[in-house]
Chain A
């Protein structure tokens, strides 16, 4: 059984289509990164999963339970960090966590949860007075209470400093290792790249790609970027020879530095070809296509 299945979900708001026939599956125990620019429909999709929105067509199942028919059964198994939320009235941080524990039938000591998310020093302050980052830590702490089987995190690193963002990634990784599935939306690639087993890219309400990050790189014709610095400027004929190699897609030269976009398997041949007329390689750098380029290509 999959943790989350979205089937043919379409949602329009006053004639504007926010989601168009969205199909998506999150397997048990995997971290699924849900990527897309702002306004792509990520939050709409998540709000349908949480039954905050009713889809025009299609359905959502969480561990086989229909999310619109039995939202409470879904919420019992899911830890939620919604987007654009406010904390609960006048409750303190500690009362928030205690409320989450009793609501979910958890067994945690609220003090331990607050300690884990770094809010122990402000536990007895009114949560409405917390900074954005503190509220986000609080909401994340409440989401992981009660050992959920699926975590739904909508832009969880918003408002967090780098340490906070790393803490969330590390916690997500260790929860995944314990068998928790995670559905993690973000418009920031590094956040997703660091933790996601698979990534779905949403654009204009449609899923334009779903794969592992490596798979996406390959599918997008990514491969490697090679930067070679020689002891002398290469001749145009030499560059043409490199261009002619199998697996090479682009060659540019700036003085003695040659930049080559190619598949991984062509790297050695490129270097050999550049040295073929006696030139010496002074420096050599290789990098994989950045996710930014990948993202730009899809969206």
Chain B
């Protein structure tokens, strides 16, 4: 196993440039506020407080995750650090795996800091949050983070310039957050000869379920018993298992696709 050494360097770099601490601080502020101000203290709050923060993380986690990943492969490639690294006994797969793992750990640690801050802030006003609720909410947010790191790594490996990676990352964000829900209707409209179809296509809920943000909403709803995914889930199939599968797919398929382009490409 050679790639963990590359992952370790990624972490070290993020600590030295302080980007890890900046990201962690953002989540600490969010978690701290939620923990200190969220809801009137009552018995239920110990369980609902940690999952209450999931809704506000819906945007933040993907933005941070893409920010930490979209240039992770292509920027060292443009600068020539990648060529330097590949002069040592590493394969391109090692580089991709190590970079992915390193950046994923950075994002997961930042998110973790947010949940720890939430628990501490809640404690300040005498609420001992439920460890189970805390752990499962953290797991949901971390999974969303890893899925978006994976998407960013995949596109970073597939392109030859940082500029292209930035454009693709922005486009991906817009697609997943704003345009994904329109796709089934649009396809049905076009295939119906540019006329409104009599009813929405049958595959629309399945397609919506493939969105990682929707999957995250479904997971959050399962944890809270509804409420998190309002406005996000948007008609996705309500199945935690499917949602987990979708997030696992996002965590693995984009890096794989990126690797297939990267492995024999001219550097």
Does B196 lie at the interface of the complex (its beta carbon under 8 Å from any beta carbon of A)? no
Question: In the assembled complex, which residues on chain B have CB atoms less than 8 Å from the CB atom of A51?
Answer: 86
Q: Given A75-B86, A103-B2, answer yes or no on A84-B267 (Cβ-Cβ < 8 Å).
A: no
Question: In the assembled complex, which residues on chain A have CB atoms less than 8 Å from the CB atom of B83?
Answer: 50, 52, 82, 84-85
Distance between A62 CB and nearest chain B CB, rounded to angstroms: 12
Does B171 lie at the interface of the complex (its beta carbon under 8 Å from any beta carbon of A)? no
Q: How many residues of chain B have a CB within 8 Å of chain A?
A: 25
- B residues 1-44 near A (Cβ < 8 Å) are 2, 5, 9-10, 12-13, 16-17
A102 and B5: CB pair below 8 A? yes
- The segment from A88-96, A233-241, A269-277, A281-289 that touches chain B is A88-96
Does B126 lie at the interface of the complex (its beta carbon under 8 Å from any beta carbon of A)? no
Question: In the assembled complex, which residues on chain A have CB atoms less than 8 Å from the CB atom of B76?
Answer: 86, 89
Q: How many residues of chain A have a CB within 8 Å of chain B?
A: 29
Does A54 lie at the interface of the complex (its beta carbon under 8 Å from any beta carbon of B)? yes
A90 and B81: CB pair below 8 A? no
Does B84 lie at the interface of the complex (its beta carbon under 8 Å from any beta carbon of A)? yes
- B residues 35-59 near A (Cβ < 8 Å) are none
A72 and B80: CB pair below 8 A? no
1/0 per position for A86-111, CB-CB distance to B under 8 A? Answer: 11111100000001101110000000
Q: In the bound complex, what is the Cα–Cα distance between A53 and B265 (angstroms)?
A: 7
Q: Given A47-B267, A88-B84, A103-B5, answer yes or no on A75-B79 (Cβ-Cβ < 8 Å).
A: no
Question: In the assembled complex, which residues on chain A have CB atoms less than 8 Å from the CB atom of B86?
Answer: 50-52, 71, 75
Cβ-defined partner of B84 (8 Å) among A47, A71, A72, A139: A139
Q: In the bound complex, what is the Cα–Cα distance between A53 and B92 (angstroms)?
A: 12
Q: In the bound complex, what is the Cα–Cα distance between A50 and B91 (angstroms)?
A: 11
Q: Given A72-B90, A86-B79, A104-B89, answer yes or no on A54-B266 (Cβ-Cβ < 8 Å).
A: yes
B84 and A85: CB pair below 8 A? yes
B5 and A53: CB pair below 8 A? no
Does A76 lie at the interface of the complex (its beta carbon under 8 Å from any beta carbon of B)? yes
B264 and A75: CB pair below 8 A? no
Distance between A229 CB and nearest chain B CB, rounded to angstroms: 54
Does B164 lie at the interface of the complex (its beta carbon under 8 Å from any beta carbon of A)? no
1/0 per position for B51-84, CB-CB distance to A under 8 A? Answer: 0000000000000000000000000100111011
Counting chain A CB atoms within 10 Å of each CB, the highest count among B79, B81, B83 belongs to: B83
Question: In the assembled complex, which residues on chain B have CB atoms less than 8 Å from the CB atom of A103?
Answer: 2, 5, 88-90
Cβ-defined partner of B266 (8 Å) among A53, A89, A102, A142: A53
Does A67 lie at the interface of the complex (its beta carbon under 8 Å from any beta carbon of B)? no
A91 and B81: CB pair below 8 A? no
Q: In the bound complex, what is the Cα–Cα distance between A50 and B90 (angstroms)?
A: 11
Q: In the bound complex, what is the Cα–Cα distance between A230 and B10 (angstroms)?
A: 73
B: residues with CB less than 8 A from A are 2, 5, 9-10, 12-13, 16-17, 76, 79-81, 83-91, 94, 264, 266-267
4 pairs of A and B residues whose beta carbons are closest in the complex: A80-B87, A90-B16, A85-B84, A89-B13
**Can you give 26 contacting A-B residue pairs, CB < 8 Å?**
A50-B86, A50-B87, A52-B266, A52-B267, A53-B267, A71-B91, A75-B88, A75-B89, A75-B90, A76-B89, A81-B87, A85-B80, A85-B81, A85-B87, A86-B84, A87-B81, A88-B81, A88-B84, A89-B9, A89-B10, A89-B16, A89-B81, A91-B12, A99-B5, A103-B88, A142-B88
